[in-house]
Amino acid sequence: MTLTFPRRSASWLVAVSLACAEPTAAASRAGATEADLPPPSSIRNLDYGDVLFHFFQDDYFGALVRLEVAQELRRLPDHPDEAALLAGGLYLSLGMHLEATRRFEQLLAGPVPRSVADRALFYLARIQYQREYLEQAERSLARIQGPLPGDLEAERRLLASNVLMARGRYGAAAAALEGWSDASGWADYARFNLGVALVRSGESPRGRELLEAVGTAQAGDEERLALRDRANLALGFALLQERQPEAAAVALNRVRLDGPFTNRALLGLGWAESEASRPERALVPWLELRQRPVVDAAVQESLLAVPFAYARLASNGQAAEQYRHAVSAYAAEARRLDESITAIRAGGFLDAVLEAAPAGRDGPGSVSWLWQLQRAPDAPHTRYLYQLLASHGFQEGLKNYRDLRIMQDDLARWSSSLEAFDEMVAARERLAGGRDARKSEFLSATDLEALQRRRDAIDARLDRIVTERDVTGLATPVEAAQWQALGALATRIDALPPGAQRDALAERARLLQGTLQWQLDATYKLRLSRQHAGMRILDEALVEARQRVGQIEQASQLVPRNNHEFARRVDELAERMARLQPRVDAAAAAQERLLAGIAVRELEAQKARLASYATQAQFALAALYDGAASGGAR
Amino acid sequence: MTTTVPRRLPRRARQLLAASALLILCAAPFGTRADATEAAAGLRTVDQDVQALKKELVDLNRDLFRLEEELLYPASTQVAVFLSVNVGTFFALDSVQLELDGKEVTNYLYTEREVAALHRGGVQKLYLGNLKAGEHELVAVFTGKGPHDRDYRRGTTVKFDKTIGAKYVELRITDRDSALQPEFDVRQWE
């Protein structure tokens, strides 16, 4: 007997498979990228380098706070545009779309270099796409003039095609991506998306070609391997839809046995074999799948598929046994779902999610998160996370919760710092009081004006000496005493009675006076120059003294004011923290309640599905018993 | 033995399986359309509240960060030592020690993530402290591994004058000309 694969179910399968293969990858890298940044050698403000040091370690919050401080203190004079662009990107990375949009629009409103405007438009378009403002996204993309730097150009092309696909314009999306190849890996995502778009728009052969290309491409990392698996899965189901089970099996066989898409591939592979009228070979993947944890929906379905294949092989005894097994497995799984629902309702659900998550930049929804969570501990809180994280809304909510948790920790740290600041300000106030007394004493003992007057008197004397060329005015104290002594001697000689002796003495005194004057005259210029140099030193010393006294006076005025200012700021910040802390706690709790509600609804939907499976198994079992009763069983 | 499959079973089973395949491949996160709409609206409202709250927290952190720096490290005494790297990736930085006026102030061990951030162009604020105006001496030593697992240890001594404004010293680990030997290049910024 030939079993025909139901056409309707096949088309559903492929539609659903392709629905699960939504345009991918670009959205996971939501924020700023390295392409926004200047090359290392061109960093001209160290504070900007400090921001990048944190940014490159995926510490977006730390980078943003430092960037805001540096911008406010005008420490980034050489990087105004890059810094503004990075700020927008960081807000985006932290899930603050509204502020990010405001920053990008603000940047675009000003005179910015074309390259910066293009990058801002790209990010704006990405936000608009994520928020489903598709027309605006298309307009923003159309305003980009030049090629974007690095991988951003590839991302732009990918985003452009995603926008077109989201608007249902598959043909235009295909045209936009046609002929694009690059080594960065983005082209693979584009080919995947295009393949899906073409299959959806009815151009299946071309779509399959592209999916085949991605499914057989070289892949060096987990992300690319996962994409390859996804392409093969989509291709396999597309081929199943077109009733090409042999080719479908080839594609599905390429999906790794230990990847995130393995279970679905095994299920599809079984269907391919079944469609090819090889139920015995269909059993191979289905039996493999059946041994896997029942938490996975594909595994749950395999519990029905295995007895279905046995029944086709007319092994009704085994079929009946497997249906019974399915019924008890569904019941056990339903109990586990109940446990999980109870655990989630009890609280602490999201913390369990975050504990199970890997460290690093990848957020919820990224391949590494999903992959890790698939291997998360089999605890009631975390058992069904993988399925929950398939929802974009849930991922966004989880990211918000994670950010709030980080900010709660941050507030707690600052809270103890603020107490220390408060004490520090008080200690500074006390110290300033002690210093004030010493300063007053010092300042009262320092008469700069008297010093200045003395300096001016010296200067006036020098001027007179120069004007009168009074060489004796520059005499050393010894020379001055000698000059004075010679003058007194001359007076005494003049008082002597005239005669040869007086003449001889007068001649000798005149000779000595002349010699001294000659010496003073000969060295006058040198002495004058030394005096001028001395005056310059004196002037410099006076200026410095005035500066120091000014600083001391200023400091004594500033410190108390600074302290009062600091005390005011500490109080103001403490008030803001006190206001914010309960709001953050409340927001985290609200986020948890909301996501827990979604999780519970999802798990209840899973329970309903299990109940439906159980009904089907029981029905099939009854049918088998019917058949046996009518004499057909072996 | 003739095998007889009950005629009714496969058809029904196929239909049931087809229906369940739909569920498997697109396990909708929400139960019903009404639930989905309600949940999405709930997420949006909370998301907008959380965005506003996050912005306030960023602003608060900015003000706290600024207060901390101005209170603990006023510009008149502030000295900051930055570290940057401009060498090929063959050189793996392990640690940097800093001594200021003969006193050790930092002994920093690097994680792989930090080293990668430095190689990508990040500049680390390695030390932030206070010094009186006047002449000071900074001694910096870095260790790491170069090609062929060769251990490197290089040091430098810098004398600098601290004036009234904040003083920035940048220690750049760079390749020695053409010899591919890492060494310090020091720049002072006022």
- Per-residue pLDDT of A438-465, as tens digits, reads 777 777 777 888 888 999 999 999 999 9
Q: End-to-end distance of chain A based on CA atoms, in angstroms?
A: 17
- Chain B, residues 118-137, CB within 8 A of chain A, namely 118, 120-125
User: Domain for residue B2, yes or no?
Assistant: no
Contact B10 A311 (CB under 8 A): yes
Contacts of A610 in chain B (CB under 8 A): none
* Alpha-carbon distance B13 to nearest alpha carbon in chain A (angstroms): 7
What are the residues facing B84 on neighbouring strands? B172
Which pLDDT score, from 0 to 100, does residue A367 have?
46
The H-assigned helical ranges of A276-362 are 279-290, 297-312, 316-345, 349-356
Select from B40, B71, B102 the last residue of a domain: B71
Select from B17, B43, B71 the last residue of a domain: B71
Which pLDDT score, from 0 to 100, does residue A359 have?
56
The closest CB to that of B18, out of A6, A314, A566, belongs to: A6
User: Domain for residue B101, yes or no?
Assistant: yes
The CATH number of whichever domain residue B131 belongs to comes to: 2.60.40
Residue B161's domain comprises 73-189
User: Domain for residue B78, yes or no?
Assistant: yes
Residues B86 and B151 in one domain: yes
Least Cα distance to B168 among B129, B135, B142 occurs for: B129
User: Domain for residue B125, yes or no?
Assistant: yes
What are the residues facing B82 on neighbouring strands? B125, B170
A134 in contact with chain B, both atoms CB, cutoff 8 A? no
Q: How far does Cα B2 stand from its chain's mean position?
A: 71
**Chain B: residue nearest A605 by CA?**
B31
In terms of Cβ atoms closer than 10 Å to its own Cβ (0-12, 13-18, 19+), residue B154 is middle
- In order of A124, A453, A481, A544, A556, the CA distances from A447 in angstroms are 66, 10, 32, 14, 18
pLDDT greater at residue A436 or residue B153: B153
Q: Is the dihedral of CA A64, A69, A71, A77 positive or negative?
A: negative
What are the residues facing B169 on neighbouring strands? B81, B188
Distance CA A375, CA A253 (A): 22
The model's pTM: 0.70
A605 in contact with chain B, both atoms CB, cutoff 8 A? yes
Listed ranges A381-390, B108-117, B139-148; the one with the highest mean pLDDT: B108-117
Distance CA B112, CA A57 (A): 10
**Chain B: residue nearest A99 by CA?**
B55
- In sequence order, the 6+-apart residues with CB closer than 8 A to the CB of B126 are B81, B82, B83, B96, B98, B106, B108, B171
Mean pLDDT of chain B: 78
The H-assigned helical ranges of A75-185 are 80-93, 97-109, 114-130, 134-143, 151-166, 170-177
User: Domain for residue B120, yes or no?
Assistant: yes
Contact A311 B17 (CB under 8 A): no
Of the pLDDT bands very low, low, confident and very high (cuts 50, 70, 90), residue B23 is very low
**Chain B: residue nearest A61 by CA?**
B58
Residues B65 and B79 in one domain: no
ipTM over 0.90: no
B170 in contact with chain A, both atoms CB, cutoff 8 A? yes
Report the amino acid identity of residue B59.
D
Report the amino acid identity of residue B176.
R
Which pLDDT score, from 0 to 100, does residue A271 have?
93
- Chain A, residues 350-379, CB within 8 A of chain B, namely none
Task: List the Cα angle A163/A395/A102 in 5-degree steps.
Answer: 55
Residues B172 and B184 in one domain: yes
Token look-up 């500490």 returns: A570
B interface test, pick of A56, A304, A327 with most B CB neighbours within 10 Å: A56
pLDDT greater at residue A242 or residue A554: A242
User: Domain for residue B19, yes or no?
Assistant: no
Residues B179 and B106 in one domain: yes
**What is the count of structural domains for chain B?**
2
Contacts of A602 in chain B (CB under 8 A): 29-31
Mean pLDDT for A411-431 is 87
Q: What percent of chain B has pLDDT over 90?
A: 48
Residues B41 and B128 in one domain: no
- In order of A11, A179, A297, A298, A325, the CA distances from A305 in angstroms are 19, 42, 12, 10, 12
Residues B160 and B140 in one domain: yes
Residues B38 and B124 in one domain: no
- In order of A77, A215, A314, the CA distances from A106 in angstroms are 18, 43, 71
Q: Is B130 helix (H, G, I), strand (E, B) or coil?
A: strand
Mean pLDDT for B145-174 is 90
Report the amino acid identity of residue A154.
A
Residues B85 and B36 in one domain: no
pLDDT greater at residue A194 or residue A470: A470
Distance CA A231, CA A237 (A): 10
Two tokens, residue A435: 């210093």
Residues B38 and B87 in one domain: no
Report the amino acid identity of residue A499.
G
Mean pLDDT of chain A: 83
Mean pLDDT for B99-118 is 95
Residues B37 and B81 in one domain: no
The closest CB to that of B10, out of A39, A300, A312, belongs to: A312
A93 in contact with chain B, both atoms CB, cutoff 8 A? no
User: Domain for residue B145, yes or no?
Assistant: yes
Select from B71, B103, B122 the last residue of a domain: B71
Residues B77 and B120 in one domain: yes
- In sequence order, the 6+-apart residues with CB closer than 8 A to the CB of B19 are A9
Q: How far does Cα B133 stand from its chain's mean position?
A: 33
Residues B169 and B78 in one domain: yes
User: Domain for residue B38, yes or no?
Assistant: yes
Two tokens, residue B5: 């499959």
* Alpha-carbon distance B170 to nearest alpha carbon in chain A (angstroms): 8
Tens-digit pLDDT profile for residues A94-125:
888 899 999 999 999 989 999 999 999 999 99
- Chain A, residues 201-220, CB within 8 A of chain B, namely none
pLDDT over 70 (residue A519):
yes
